[in-house]
Amino acid sequence: MLDINTVNHILLFIFISILSTTVMQLRTVRTKAPINNIMSSKFTSIIISLTQKLLRKIKHSNSELKKKRNVGEKMFGFLEA
């Protein structure tokens, strides 16, 4: 069974690879047609905001896992040094 952190990192890697491919395609469109500058910059800003939300969600889930692990360790008497 995969750890939740591993799954998060795999999803983040896939999302960033799709993001980089999209940005590269937008750059080629931008150089060919200057009319699309406004739309491509809006699209890029939307993708960046979605990436930031995903990173915040991953950080939050990681902190929740740490809290649960710490509570479990305290319940069973295993304290980290």
Q: Which one has a higher pLDDT value, 13 or 39?
A: 13
Q: Over the stretch 25-73, which tens digit does the pLDDT of each residue have?
A: 766 655 555 555 555 667 777 777 888 888 888 777 777 777 777 776 6
Instruction: Give a yes or no: residue 52 inside a domain.
Output: yes
Q: What is the value of pTM for the model shown? A: 0.39
Domain that holds residue 36: 4-76
Q: Is 81 part of a structural domain of the chain?
A: no
Give dist(CA 78, CA 62) in Å, integer: 20
Is the residue at 19 inside a domain?
Answer: yes
Per the structure, how many domains does the chain have? 1
Residue 27 in domain: yes
47 lies in some domain: yes
In a domain, 59, yes or no: yes
The reply to whether 23 falls in a domain is yes
pLDDT at position 37, please?
A: 55
The Cα–Cα gap between 72 and 40 comes to 48
Q: How many CB atoms lie within 10 A of CB 4?
A: 13
Contact call for residues 6 and 48 (beta carbons, < 8 A): no
